[in-house]
Amino acid sequence: MLFFKKEQEMKGKRNLLFCVLLVVSTTIAIDAGPAVAKEPLKETANLILRSSSGVERVESLLLILHDLAEQSSHGSYSASQRIEMDAEFQTILAMIDPTVNRAGFNGLNMLNSANEIITVKAGSEVLEFHCVDITQAGLDLDGGLNIQQFPDARTAFDSVEAAVRRIKEVDLQFTDYINTLSMYLPNIKPILDKEVQQGLEIMEASKEGAERITGNLNRAIELIDQVISGTYSDAQTMIMNAELQEMLSECDYITNGVYYGMGMIGSTDVVVIDTGSGILEFACFDLTSAGLGIDVGLSIETPQDAQAAYTYVVDALQSVEEAIAALNDYIDTLSQYVQTKGNKKNQE
């Protein structure tokens, strides 16, 4: 019986289950110490439940940091406002390590070292639980990040977004640990459908991003049609061309920003979700400018250029609309699964 799921080598696939490669150097036997020798399995459960709560608290801090860095990445704030946002950013950032340190239990902490494994006996089985490092250093957030200036804010945003992706993997990891322990301890309730719920969130965010791209491409077609009509001056078509370039380049910004960079519209990967009763696979869509074939230097400075650009943009729009239709089907599939599970629980 598998008590935790390891990373699978799947070319082009991403697993929403925790899939973290660990370099293990130390194994801690939870039943070796006198303080926990009487009921090691229950003590392990207490440690993991406390760790899981710590992970959720750190995730809450990271989401605040993410919002602050995102706000400061825009050019609509004054220097004094950025200083105020950075002061809050630094305060929240400094709370990560104390939050991690408070998540320990009986002298053990599973959140400040990625090089240890907690082992405990459960009947004839030996369970293993990998520790993680979600301290500032472990999340690569200890490099003097600040959001006072736009370039620094953009760097901080990228770093925090990577940390959010990491903490969401860790959250699923500890959910899996709790579900493992629930098979041995009746007072531990399994956490059902968390991976499915996260999958739904990613799909819905991806659909929203794809719809934004649709809006951009529809606006691009309007601009193209205007230039093809030949009723505008050279100066006006230059302005229209500049707007077109902005509409097309924003596609990459949208795809990269979906669900903390974990969206389904920036690659051709396959997302794998374990529903508890089976494995579901969902293909992603490459709606970047390159994936849509609109990164070829399109221009509408002349009616002839606009006519050539028209085919590219219309084809791109069709691809995005097909992706939206598929994402709707994905959302329906997972929603029906959640509804079916809910009905079964009510019947019980």
What digits encode the pLDDT tens for the residues 95-150? 999 999 999 998 999 999 988 999 999 888 999 999 999 999 999 999 899 999 98
What is the edge-to-edge ordering of all strands in the sheet holding 26-29?
26-29, 116-122, 125-130
Per-residue pLDDT, 336? 85
Q: Per 3-state DSSP, what percentage of the chain is helix, strand, and coil (rounded to 5)? A: 55, 10, 35
pLDDT tens figures, 222-264: 999 999 999 999 999 999 999 999 999 899 989 998 999 899 9
Encoding tokens for residue 33?
Answer: 């110490």
Residue with tokens 């699978």: 8
Per-residue pLDDT, 18? 35
What is the edge-to-edge ordering of all strands in the sheet holding 13-15?
13-15, 270-274, 279-283
Q: Are 18-191 and 197-347 equal in CATH topology? A: yes
Q: What is the dihedral sign for C-alpha 110, 115, 119, 125?
A: positive
Per-residue pLDDT, 245? 94
Per-residue pLDDT, 287? 97
Per-residue pLDDT, 37? 38
Looking at this protein, which amino acid is placed at residue 221?
A: I
Per-residue pLDDT, 20? 33
Domain ranges of the chain: 18-191, 197-347
Point out the residues of the chain with pLDDT beneath 70. 1-38, 339-348
Cα–Cα nearest to 267, from 290, 249, 298: 290
Per-residue pLDDT, 28? 61
Question: 119 has which bridge partners?
Answer: 29, 128
Tell me which DSSP letter residue 259 carries: G
What is the Cα–Cα distance from 141 to 122, expressed in whole angstroms? 37
Cα–Cα nearest to 5, from 168, 130, 192: 130
Q: What is the dihedral sign for C-alpha 171, 172, 178, 181?
A: negative
- Decide: helix, strand or coil at residue 5: coil
Kindly state which CATH superfamily the domain 197-347 is placed in: f41 fragment of flagellin, N-terminal domain (1.20.1330.10)
Residue with tokens 């990967």: 269
The CATH architecture that domain 18-191 belongs to is: Up-down Bundle (1.20)
CA dihedral 167, 180, 264, 20 (to 10 degrees): 50
Encoding tokens for residue 192?
Answer: 């059902």
